[in-house]
Structure 1
């Protein structure tokens, strides 16, 4: 669906790089009727209109769910200064759709109306090695299936047809399932070294080809309780989104999730905002 593709990284990065997006122009011509186009004043208005259409129950995709988590949980309960949100964070062979780190680390697996549940158990089993709190956020059509196929310690959130998040089951924190070696595998080398520095542990002096193996061995020797809080603190600091606060506040609400999950260079923020503030008529001529 063209409405969904408007919120893709391709459109967002094209706007940031060029101050315009020919792909955006093509997509709106495909998805907006002539009558709809005549009512839209700016590019930002077009995004808001498209998002309202995507929120319609039968059309919801992953971006709608990421936007709900961004607005209702990250920005609604926390802030960009107190919490960090990770997008598509790799754990083993799986990627967490979104994770939020504040005092703890919580993984959110999205199962939209378009998704199936076939991979859910494998995904949650992977996430538990790094995230002691796990939630599945799903549409109403999946709730019974998620309840039947998940352990009692997995939290379940429902995104209603009215775009409200309700808690079906709270997550239980399972720090006992976390494995420090899996935490290491999910980190950048600089983050792992910083964690060890905070613990006053000497960094091995070995060739670069051996450093990952040496560091992993050190992490594997920890108990989860010894390393977990330091892991949360270091990743919150190294992957903070606080610098994006001004950008988010200047963007339409429908693009807040995009601004926080699609990374563009700070030098490109001006281009991005100029594109979003362009008139819709001008945008239709982008090439």
Structure 2
């Protein structure tokens, strides 16, 4: 029998508190902790939720308990992304061979999550709180960039999505037990990838390295013409080769040794934020200290 002081009994599980619980995992809270080690926004939320901080050994434990309640009353996009980080990236792969990006710009859309290991797999999230209004355009964009594309969703959307999504797009349910159930496996888009879309998703430093690696030189032109000339050379690269180059570049984004250590140490509730945020070494140190200390 759990004691009255058990942390799992402290947060109110009423659904009306869902949006407020979700704010605990907002970028404003995370950025404040990363910048100064303290979060006035989080302190305000703690007071509003009437959380008894003395029941928590440290801030990391408070995040874990809040996340547990969030999963029961308000399954928002953050919860889906964090499940992808925990169960797919960290559950199936290694940070030495795979990485994850969030809100990744592809043509007219932003991919909720993309995992890069030996290939690319975009996961588009449609929670029970979302409509399916923009999905057609999103999937069209993603299939032009990534070898595999899947929609991760709540069971209420599955019947409609089975009729709506293209044959090569996968479908995954996030169950009420916070596990993934594959409804439909994705098929490869490798031969349908679009070089224009691929190139425009890269940063200048990335496409310059790719062009230099493949062709052995970088165009000797003014900076204003570098994009145009590099794009011409990129289009000469065979699509499967170009895809491999892109994997190499994207996997190196934001994944320093210090960042990997933060991801490993971070509570499960914060894995996706630790993975996908751009952080300096000072910010990583601030976060590590903040998560391990008592709550003021």
Q: Is the structural similarity TM-score above 0.5?
A: yes
Tell me the residue number matched to 1:42: 58
Match of 1:137 among 152, 155, 172: 152
Distance in 2 of aligned mates of 1:102 and 1:51: 28
Unaligned regions of 5+ residues in structure 1, if any?
Answer: 283-287
Tell me the residue number matched to 2:264: 249
1:126 matched to 2:141: yes
81-90 vs 229-238, greater mean Cα deviation: 229-238
Match of 1:4 among 6, 18, 22: 22
Tell me the residue number matched to 2:10: none
What is the CA-CA distance between 1:238 and the residue it aligns to? 4.4
What is the CA-CA distance between 1:201 and the residue it aligns to? 4.2
Distance in 2 of aligned mates of 1:225 and 1:255: 34
Tell me the residue number matched to 2:48: 30
Unaligned regions of 5+ residues in structure 2, if any?
Answer: 1-18
Q: Within 5 A, what are the aligned runs for 1:263-278?
A: 263-278=278-293
Distance in 2 of aligned mates of 1:2 and 1:54: 9
1:55 matched to 2:71: yes
Distance in 1 of aligned mates of 2:253 and 2:215: 19
CA RMSD of aligned residues (A): 1.6
Question: Is 2:127–2:153's contact at 8 Å kept on the other side of the alignment?
Answer: yes
What is the CA-CA distance between 1:152 and the residue it aligns to? 1.2
Tell me the residue number matched to 2:83: 68
TM-score (norm 2): 0.89
Tell me the residue number matched to 1:218: 233
Distance in 2 of aligned mates of 1:270 and 1:231: 30
Task: Identify if the C-alpha distance between structure 1 residues 168 and 6 changes in structure 2 by more than 3 Å, giving closer, same or farther.
Answer: same
Task: Identify if the C-alpha distance between structure 1 residues 188 and 164 changes in structure 2 by more than 3 Å, giving closer, same or farther.
Answer: same
What is the CA-CA distance between 1:42 and the residue it aligns to? 2.3
Tell me the residue number matched to 1:84: 99
Task: Identify if the C-alpha distance between structure 1 residues 163 and 196 changes in structure 2 by more than 3 Å, giving closer, same or farther.
Answer: same
Distance in 2 of aligned mates of 1:96 and 1:180: 17
What is the CA-CA distance between 1:241 and the residue it aligns to? 5.5
Question: Is 2:254–2:278's contact at 8 Å kept on the other side of the alignment?
Answer: no
Tell me the residue number matched to 1:165: 180
1:13 matched to 2:31: yes
Say which SS state the counterpart of residue 60 (structure 1) adopts: coil
Question: Is 2:120–2:147's contact at 8 Å kept on the other side of the alignment?
Answer: yes
What is the CA-CA distance between 1:67 and the residue it aligns to? 0.9
Spell out structure 1 runs of 4+ moving beyond 6 A: none
Higher-RCO chain (CA-CA 8 Å, sequence separation at least 6):
1
Count of matched residue positions in the alignment of Structure 1 and Structure 2 = 278
Question: Is 1:19–1:275's contact at 8 Å kept on the other side of the alignment?
Answer: yes
Match of 1:184 among 180, 183, 199: 199
What is the CA-CA distance between 1:167 and the residue it aligns to? 0.6
Say which SS state the counterpart of residue 41 (structure 1) adopts: coil
Question: Is 2:149–2:170's contact at 8 Å kept on the other side of the alignment?
Answer: yes
Tell me the residue number matched to 1:285: none
What is the CA-CA distance between 1:41 and the residue it aligns to? 3.4
Distance in 1 of aligned mates of 2:171 and 2:285: 39
